[in-house]
Amino acid sequence: MTQDVYMSEQAPQIKRLRVLVVEDDGPTRTAISRLIKQAGAEVTTARDGEEGLGFLVTQHFDVLLTDLRMPVMDGIEMLQHVMRLPEQRRPSRIIAISGEYDRGVLRGAPVGFMQKPFNIDTLLDMLGGKPN
């Protein structure tokens, strides 16, 4: 199955989702954003946890996809702040990605986890899957 065919099959589950991508690496942020947009979601990007948290307190997102290791405010600290937000401000699905950490760093938080490098098909499945 080609990636294009897969994306077209996923589109109904992902369409209309508002996704916030928080990733400090510019090329990675751009690539992830582009692929999610191609699947039909609306994407906003942030360079670090501080910028991402700013978006979360002012806008509603269905999904938060965040790197864990970033400058200024890392993803772990941002997730601690996110869990304290009023429920209506928290995304229904949170996915953490990391090349340096493993799932254990999340300490049982209701967060999906993907190790970098990851498979785009797996990411699209997680975006269109069940809430955390």
pLDDT value at residue 59: 93
Query: What Å distances lie between residue 29 and 36, 43, 62, 71, 101, CA to CA?
Result: 11, 11, 18, 14, 18
pLDDT digits (tens, 9 = 90+) for 42-53: 999 999 999 999
Looking at every residue in the chain, the average pLDDT score rounds to 82
Residue 8 has pLDDT above 60, yes or no: no
CATH of domain 3-127: 3.40.50.2300
Model confidence band, residue 102 (pLDDT cutoffs 50, 70, 90): low
pTM: 0.83
